[in-house]
Structure 1
Amino acid sequence: MASAAPPKRMVSSVFITLASPHQAIVTPQREQPQPALQAHSAPAREKQHPAARMSPGDKSLSEESALPPPPPAQESFPHPVTPDLCGFCRKPVAPSEPAIEALNRTYHDGCFQCRSCHIPLAGKQYYNKAGIPLCEDCYQASLELCWACGEAITDHIIRALERAYHLSCFTCTTCKRQIGEQAFAQGDVGEVYCLQDYYRKYAPKCSACNQLIIPKEDGTDSYTVECLGRSYHENCYRCEVCVIQLSPEPNEHGCYPLDGKMLCKPCHLNLSSGQH
C-alpha cells in the first residue's frame, strides 16, 4: 500500500532588519507671514501726441492727449496658512509654537514622547518600531529573545516555526550550517535541519534499489509505497516475475503477494495454480 513520504514540515523563514535609531528634530517657531504692503502707483507721466504743435497762447495739448492713469494696484494678502495636525493628539500645531518633525509627521513639542514610558523625546535619540517612537531603554526591552541562545536580537532576525532567531543561530542541527532563507525541515521534536540532513535521517530506503526515497522537483516519489514491511519508490514497485509496475492502490493492477513475493494478479494466479 502507499503511504505518505516523511513530511518535510517545511516552513519558509522571514528575514527582517530591525530599526535603526533616529534623532528627533526640534523645529523653532515658524515665522508668521507678513501681509504685503499696499502698492501705490506713481502719477502717470504726461504724454504728447507726436503730431501736436504748441503755439504761444494755445492750450496745452498734453493735457488733452494725456492717457488716463492706470488704476491703483489692489492690496494683496497671502492665503491663510492651514496649521498641521499633531501626529499624536490630532490637534492643530500653531505656526507660532515649536514643533517636532519625525516619522513623517508633525508633533507638539510635548506630544512627541516614548509611547511606553512617556519620557519626552524632543532632541533625543529614539527608535521607530512600526511607526511608534520608543526611547532606547524601552526599545531594547521590547526586543525578542533568540530561541537558540536566549539573547536579545538587536540586528537581523530570522522568524521561522513561530520563533525568532539570530541569523547566526538559525542553523542545521546536524551540519551546523546557517540556513538563512533557504528551505529547511523540522524534526520530530522541533529541531531544524537542512533538507539534505533531514532526508538522510528520516527518509526510508527503497528495498529494490537501496536508495533514499526523496521527493523530486517534478513531483515523483512524493510518497513511499509500503508492501510486506518494505518501502519502495513508485517506479521500483514492480512485480518480481514480469517486472510490470504495480499500482499502490488495492485494485486489479495492485500487488498480490505470494510466499513473500510481490506479484501482479496474473503472475499470482499462474504461480498459485502451478502449486496445486
Structure 2
Amino acid sequence: MVPLIIWLLPSPSRSPHSSGPFSVQLVYTTHIQECNIYSEVQEPKKTPHPPKTSAAAQLDELMAHLCEMQTQVAMKEDASKKHIANKQDPKASLDSMLGGLEQDLQDLGVAAVPKGHCASCQKPIAGKVIHALGRAWHPEHFVCTHCKEEIGSSPFFERSGLAYCSKDYHHLFSPRCAYCAAPILDRVLTAMNQTWHPEHFFCSHCGEVFGAEGFHEKDKKPYCRKDFLAMFSPKCGGCNRPVLENYLSAMDTVWHPECFVCGDCFSSFSSGSFFELDGRPYCELHYHRRRGTLCHGCGQPITGRCISAMGHKFHPEHFVCAFCLTQLSKGIFREQDDKTYCQPCFTKLFPL
C-alpha cells in the first residue's frame, strides 16, 4: 500500500512575507521521495506528558458529570418524598423534626433529657409539657375529649378521668334550667325536684323573684305567698278573705277566729257551741229568735216542750193567767188585749 501524503503549499499569488490568512492548496501524490524533509533525523525530545485530552479524559469527565446528575436526581427524589410524607402526615413530620432537633442538641453536647412520656402518643416529651390529670402531655395532644380541640393552658373540666373544654362540659354534664333549658354555668337553685338559674325561679303569676319568704307550689308551678293565698288558699266563711295563719274549721269551711261570731250580736262563742242557720253561725238566743222559738213569757229559748198560742210560743210553765198567774196547764184560756186569762179571772175582770 502506498501512503497518502498531503502537502500544504502557499498560493502563488501571495507573498511569503505577507501577514494574515492565506490559502492552501492540496496536492495529492503517490510519489515518495527517498530523502526526508529534514536534512537529518532528530532525536525526539523528552517532554512531560500533556494533560489528558484523549478519549479517556473525555470519558472521565463524562462519568463525573453523570455522577453529579445522579446526586442531584437523588436529592430531588428525597426532597419530594419528604414533601409528600409531610403533606400526608404532619404529625410524623413534627416527630421527625423533634427527633432531629434532639439529635442536633446531643451532637452539640447538650443533653436533652425527656420530661416524661406523653399520655396520648406515648412518645418522650423533649419540649413544652403539660401536666394534667396526674399525667404529662405534649401541648398539642392535650385536647378536649368531645370536640378534640387543643386545650393548652385554658381552664378545663375533668369527668371520669377525661378532660373537657368548658363549653362541651357544660353542654354535656351541667344541670339545665327548668325555665330556659340552658346549662347552668354558675349558681344553681334546686326546687320542686328541678334545677333553675336563680334569676329564673319566680312567681308564675306576678313574675317576682322569690325572697326570704319562700314560695308555694300549686299544679307544679311556684307562686309567691301573696298570690298563692289570694288564688288558692281557703276563704274565710265570715269575711271571704284568704285565711293566712290561725283559723277555725266549722260548717265545712274555715274562719278567721275573729270572724267566727254570732251573725246577729257578733259575740264569740266562748262556750264552743253555736247554732247554724242558713250557713251562718248564731248564738242560742238569736238562733231561736230567728226561728221564732223564744218563749213569749220569759224571752228565753224553748228547748223542750212548747205551747203555741196567740201566734207565740211559750214554755208550758210560762203560759199563765195574766191576772192570777195560774198556769194554764190544760190549754184553756181566754184572751183579751193580747193577754191570756183563766176563765174565773176573765169573768171577774170582763163581766158581760
Into which bin does the TM-score normalised by the smaller protein fall?
0.3 to 0.5
Relative to the length of structure 2, the TM-score reads 0.36
Relative to the length of structure 1, the TM-score reads 0.45
**Structure richer in helix, relative to its length:** 2
Question: Which structure would you say has the larger Rg?
Answer: 2
